[in-house]
Amino acid sequence: MTATHATGLLPEIAASPVCRRAISLRSERQERAPKPAAVASSGRAPVGTGAELDDYVARAAAGDVRAFERLYETHVPRVHSLVRRMAGGRDTDELTQDVFVRVWQKLGSFRGDAAFGTWLHRLAVNVVIERFRQDATRRQRLHDGDEIFDTLASPLRSGDIRMDFESALERLPDGAREIFVLHDVEGYKHREIGTLLQISSGTSKAQLHRARMMLRRHLK
């Protein structure tokens, strides 16, 4: 995803009915608050950590769209990557946009108990999981038998191990891929995955084992 394409999503987010309603509801409070300093429109570095990040989060929560834009520009690459991997490349841009609409809606509930990046990451995971739950066949995919080992074609040989890995990841069954990304890429524990996906820890472990075996077979 190029920077131009990524930042191109922001006007759609800010112009959405949800965001317009949120801006309207917050406008009176924002007008009474001290005006933040303007953010430069070009040559901007990503938002840093600590006090600078806290400032942008606070301003965005108060309805400052330009502060929200800075947060978006800083975090959209990782969110897009997470969404793409979890969803197998399907509807990635739409889901990424959904994540940041949800961020805009819920910024007022962010209390700083965890780092903003951690909070955003978990919100993104939840948005993707909610989309998966709309798929009536997803529950069955989480309980597929050993025949899922036969769903991958012969290994790719592009010469680029990263490209081969991403391609193999997209071709995993949804349940196996979702759990592999959450556990091996994002660092979630099986207990946490079970809570998120409403499955047992045993199912999570079994699907992770299957995902690893399928990836090894594909990349061997």
Q: What is the pLDDT of residues 51-70, one digit of tens each?
A: 788 888 999 999 899 999 99
Residues of the chain with CATH 1.10.1740.10: 3-32+44-133
pLDDT mean over 129-147: 60
pTM of the model: 0.67
| DSSP helix, strand, coil percent of the chain (3-state; round to 5) | 70, 0, 30
pLDDT at residue 40 tops 50: no
pLDDT at 90: 86
E-assigned strand segments in 50-189: none
Residues of the chain with CATH 1.10.10.10: 138-219
pLDDT at 31: 41
pLDDT mean over 100-104: 94
Q: Which residues lie below 8 Å from residue 36, measured CB to CB, with a gap of 6+?
A: 55, 59, 64, 67
pLDDT at residue 151 tops 50: no
Q: Which of 4-8, 26-30, 178-182 has the lowest mean pLDDT?
A: 26-30
Domain at 3-32+44-133: CATH architecture = Orthogonal Bundle (1.10)
Q: What is the CATH number of domain 138-219?
A: 1.10.10.10
pLDDT band (50, 70, 90) for residue 166: confident
